[in-house]
Amino acid sequence: MSFQLPLILIALLATVVTAEGQPAPPYRPPSLAGKADLNGVWQALNEANYDLEAHEARPAMALRPGPYGPVPAAAVLALGAVGSVPPGLGVVEGGAIPYRPEALRKREQNRENWLTLDPEIKCYLPGVPRAAYMPYPFQIVQSSSAITIVYEYAGAVRNIFLKDPGKAPADSWMGQSVGRWEGDTLVVDVTSFNDQTWFDRSGNFHSDKLHVVERYRRTSPDILAYEAFIEDPEVFTRPWKISMALYRRQEKNAQLLDFKCVEFVEELIYGQWRRHPLGK
């Protein structure tokens, strides 16, 4: 086994050094009207939607005390392993989200009441940046003069303004997005949020003072480097950042399918007002 490590190192070096012995040039994405072409169907492959912070596996998102430790809440017990939470390395730079003390207490309350409070359960629009790392694909549609991002979850859509239209007329779930290019990186400044979205299923939240700056950069034919710089002085003690890779879907017929989940939660939200409720 002792001779394998040098061989592995040689193989790795060979992938980044040209025949002339010079470092391989950095990846240059294909161009569209002089800008990096980001078109494609992309998807995150991580556990950020469960919890942005590093976390261990646990029996369920909704828990209750058990005789030897937490067990799944009664409402999710029948889901078994399907309702469990896989472990995640975390995507927050520095490890922990810098909450103000009173906001941290609210985050814990959100976790305890996940079943009734998480907007994802009710098919509300996911907000930014959560839309990028939910377990569903999204599509970037880019032309020489416009950029739109379409998400499979809930049929959410974002128009990325390339000329600042001024202050949004009202706050909204997805905010207002204004984009600009810094070399081959698309930078999107997102403001005018309401306070109704979460960052993940673990109760991480924000106020209507949220400001997000996203960065999309193609680092290979099939990978987007994604970063989101987050600030909200009402909830956090300082700005913080998440980063991850987004991967191009490889199917020849890769496309978004219809997942307008609003109709799937009508019974959950309104079933209690049936003349004859179905019961639990």
Domain ranges within the chain, ordered by starting residue = 31-54+89-273
Closest to 88 (Cα-Cα) out of 44, 136, 46: 46
The answer, yes or no, to whether residue 280 has pLDDT greater than 90, is: no
Q: Which residue type occupies 201?
A: R
Q: What is the mean pLDDT of residues 187-210?
A: 98
Coil, strand or helix at 163:
coil
The pLDDT-based confidence of 133 (bands split at 50, 70, 90) is very high
What pLDDT is stored for residue 5 in this prediction?
56
- pLDDT of 75 reads 93
Residue 275 has pLDDT above 50, yes or no: yes
* Percentage of the chain modeled with pLDDT above 70: 92
Lowest mean pLDDT across 1-10, 15-24, 253-262, 267-276: 1-10
Does residue 1 register a pLDDT over 50?
no
**In this predicted model, what pLDDT tens digit does every residue of 81-111 receive, in sequence order?**
999 999 999 999 999 999 999 999 999 999 9
Percent of the chain with pLDDT over 90: 86
* Cα distances (angstroms) measured from residue 221 to each of 36, 38, 40, 80: 11, 10, 10, 39
Which candidate, 3, 242, 219, places its Cα nearest to that of 129? Answer: 242
Among residues 193, 233, 228, the alpha carbon closest in space to that of 103 is found at: 233
Do the bridges between strand 157-161 and strand 176-182 make them parallel or antiparallel, or are there none, so unpaired?
parallel
pLDDT of 66 above 50:
yes
pLDDT category of residue 16 using cuts at 50, 70 and 90: low
Cβ neighbours of 222 (radius 10 Å): 14
Mean pLDDT confidence for 229-238: 98
Structure confidence at residue 14 as a pLDDT band (50, 70, 90): low
| Mean pLDDT (whole number) for 218-230 | 97
Q: State the average pLDDT for the chain.
A: 93
